[in-house]
Amino acid sequence: GDSVTQMEGPVTLSEEAFLTINCTYTATGYPSLFWYVQYPGEGLQLLLKATKADDKGSNKGFEATYRKETTSFHLEKGSVQVSDSAVYFCALSELQEYGGSQGNLIFGKGTKLSVKP
Amino acid sequence: DTGVSQDPRHKITKRGQNVTFRCDPISEHNRLYWYRQTLGQGPEFLTYFQNEAQLEKSRLLSDRFSAERPKGSFSTLEIQRTEQGDSAMYLCASSLTPRTVATNEKLFFGSGTQLSVL
């Protein structure tokens, strides 16, 4: 079945460092891809998404590009801040009957990011 | 818009007891999802509702689990005869999604109910 694999954490970086969190997926069709973030004590929030190959999702300085050839959706940020400390989840969604993505998501295990001042 | 609300935030119970959790979605959101998240893992889909209809159930949802959304608004998730393996964070999410139009669904998650079975 479909699955998502993301790099193991925790990841500890200094402020202003470059961030990459790797995510690869296995899917039978052409899923939509997502990054969700979970800040301490809060619910999951959608960070960014991409719905087709070569799409780039971006938000709050984070970016990820849907690479069909490598089945990857790596998360990057050029300069992290202490406030980016959170757990990041890569996820995929199969196409709905009428197209688009749906909320039945398959998540990776999450990567905990800690940013030190 | 107060977001997705879940109650209680924490529940401690003894093995064999029944527990019920409640989820209040964002007002007028027609879809409601339940997920389960264990320590060190990502959330796993359990079931979802389109209005009051339960449209899909994961094989993870054993017959000890039952979910309802009687009026298409709030939902309850009941676990009967709890087992230690049921200890997890139970997450609820909602969205406003037309069923017959292609769209990219956006989920809004609650903060979850943490269940500990002793």
pLDDT digits (tens, 9 = 90+) for A54-103: 999 999 999 999 999 999 999 999 999 999 999 999 999 876 555 445 67
Contacts of B56 in chain A (CB under 8 A): 104
CB atoms within 10 A of CB A5: 15
Three-class HEC string of chain A: CCEEEECCCCEEEECCCCEEECEEEECCCCCEEEEEEECCCCCCEEEEEECCCCCEEEECCEEEECECCCCECCEEECCCCHHHCEEEEEEEEEECCCCEEEEEEEECCCEEEEEEC
Among B102, B107, B109, the residue with its CB nearest the CB of A100 is: B102
Which residues in chain B touch residue A1, judged by CB atoms under 8 angstroms apart?
none
**pLDDT of A42 above 90:** no
Going by the DSSP 8-state scheme, the letter that residue B16 receives in this structure is T
More confident: A103 or A12: A12
Determine the pLDDT at residue A101: 52
Q: What is the pLDDT along chain B (118 residues), one digit of tens a residue?
A: 579 999 999 999 999 999 999 999 999 899 999 999 998 899 999 999 989 999 888 888 889 999 999 988 999 999 999 999 999 999 999 988 766 555 567 889 999 999 999 9
